[in-house]
Amino acid sequence: MKKFTVVISVICAAAMMTLSGCEKKEEPKSDLQKATESLNKAAKDTGAAVEKAATDAAAATKEAAKDVKEAGEKAAKDAAAATEKAAKDLKEATEKK
């Protein structure tokens, strides 16, 4: 059994040495490959920037809409109060005459 284990170990070691010698060597990238990778990175970065800008714009629009709504509600309340006061003043003036 020990001989069998030693033989298997030797075969595995030889196979690993052979495979390590057969590693594919990476060739230097051509200018076209470099330019393509650079363009792809720029497109990805641009996409991310556009997405962030759209998200920021949506948030700003939502906040602006909220502010407009609040201002409109306040103006309506103020107008109602002013109308009520004017009606009261008119009634009092009419009753005095």
pLDDT in tens, 30-67: 888 889 999 999 999 999 999 999 999 999 999 999 99
- The label of the residue with tokens 């298997």 reads 8
Residues near 37 by beta carbon (within 8 Å), at least 6 away in sequence: 29
pLDDT score of 20: 59
35 vs 27, higher pLDDT: 35
How much is the average pLDDT of 2-25?
A: 63
Give this prediction's pTM. 0.44
Q: How far is CA 55 from CA 19, 45, 50, 51, in A?
A: 50, 15, 9, 6
Tell me what pLDDT residue 71 has: 95
What are the extents of the domains in the chain?
29-96
What was the pLDDT predicted at 8?
A: 72
